[in-house]
Amino acid sequence: MQAPVRYSPHVEQVGPDEGATIDKLNETFDTILQTVADHSGHAVRSVHAKAHGILEGTLTVDAGLPPELAQGLFATPGEHKVYMRMSTNAGDILPDAVSLPRGLALKVLDVEGERLPGAEGTTQNFIMVNGTVFQAPSAEKFLGSLKLLAGTTDRVEGLKVAASTVLRGVNKALHAVGIDSPTIGALGGAPNVDPLGETYYSVTPFRYGDHIAKFSVAPVAPALTALTGHEIDASGRPNAIRETVQSEMAGIEGVWEFRVQLCRDLERQPVE
C-alpha cells in the first residue's frame, strides 16, 4: 500500500471565481432559510432542516492507532461525548413521503487543540450524507441546482410528493442497470430508507493533520445492520421517519464505526 499523501496547500486548485461562487451560495442559502422562517415563523437550517432523531453517545478513540491515523482529535486515546443528528436534505419541512437523501451530523465535545481562525469552543463537527459522491461536480454546478431548489422552497408540497413517487421509480430502474444518479435522489427520488441502517460519508476530502482524508460513519451493531436498505412506508405519516427511529432506538443498542480513508494517490483520489 502506498504511503499517505502529505497535506500541502498545493493539493487544492482554487478557481478564479470560486470566492464569488461561494458568496452566491451563501446568498442562496440565506434566501431558503428566510423563506421558511417567513412562512413558518420559525428559523431552521437552510439545508437538512428536518431532523428525524438526535442520539446521545460516546466516541471512543482507541489507543495504538498508526501515526497516519492518530491525527487531530484521534491523536489522543480516550472518550468524548457526542450527539448524532439524522436528517433529510431539504431546506423546508416536508412530509416524509418526499424521499430524500439522509444526512448525519456528528458533534464531538471536549476536543482540545489548535483550531481554525474564528473557531471558538471545544467541539468538532462532522457532516455527512448517505452517498459516496456529492450531487454536483463543482461549486458552480451546485449553485445552479441550489437556485432551482430555492425557487421551490416551501411551495408546491403536493407536487413534490407526487414527483417523489415518480422519481423513486425512475431511480430504481436506473439502479437495476447499475446507474446511480445523486441528482435524481436529491430531487426526491432517493429510496425512503431507514436512516439507522445507512452508512454516511463526508463526500468531500478534508485536511487530516499531516494528511488528507475522507470520513465515514457506518453501523456495526447487528440490530442496525439488519435495518440497512429497509424502506419506511410514509404513506399518510408525515413524520414516519422520526416515529420509526424513536421506536427502534428504544429497544436496541446502537454502535457505529468512524472510518478514515487516507488519500494515497492524488491521480486516483484527486482533491478537486
Q: At what angle do helices 18-40 and 139-151 cross, to 10 degrees?
A: 20
Q: Give the chain's radius of gyration (CA, Å).
A: 19
Task: Tell me the C-alpha distance between 179 and 229, whole Å.
Answer: 17
Continuous segment of H or E residues that includes residue 201: strand 200-201
Averaged over 193-218, what is the pLDDT? 96
The 10 Å Cβ neighbour count of residue 175 is 12
pLDDT at 185 over 80: no
Give the pLDDT of residue 80: 98
Give the pLDDT of residue 177: 55
Give the pLDDT of residue 35: 87
pTM equals 0.88
Pick the range with the lowest mean pLDDT from 77-81, 103-107, 172-176, 219-223.
Answer: 172-176
6 in Cβ contact with 210 (< 8 Å) = yes
Averaged over 76-89, what is the pLDDT? 96
Band of residue 189 on the pLDDT scale cut at 50, 70, 90: low
Q: Map out the domains of the chain as residue ranges.
A: 9-262
Sign of the CA dihedral running 115, 117, 119, 125: negative
Continuous segment of H or E residues that includes residue 83: strand 78-88
- pLDDT more than 70, % of the chain: 86
More confident residue, 201 or 91: 201
pLDDT at 182 over 90: no
More confident residue, 142 or 189: 142
The cell numbers describing 64, all together, are 495504538
Task: Tell me the C-alpha distance between 165 and 182, whole Å.
Answer: 16
Task: Tell me the C-alpha distance between 101 and 87, whole Å.
Answer: 9
pLDDT at 109 over 90: yes
Give the pLDDT of residue 115: 84
Averaged over 76-105, what is the pLDDT? 92
Give the pLDDT of residue 87: 96
Band of residue 118 on the pLDDT scale cut at 50, 70, 90: confident
DSSP 105-144: EEEE-S--S---TT--SS-EEEEEESSSS-SSSSHHHHHH
**Does the domain at residues 9-262 carry the CATH identifier 1.20.120?**
no
Band of residue 214 on the pLDDT scale cut at 50, 70, 90: very high
DSSP code at position 12: -
Task: Tell me the C-alpha distance between 163 and 161, whole Å.
Answer: 6
Give the pLDDT of residue 159: 52
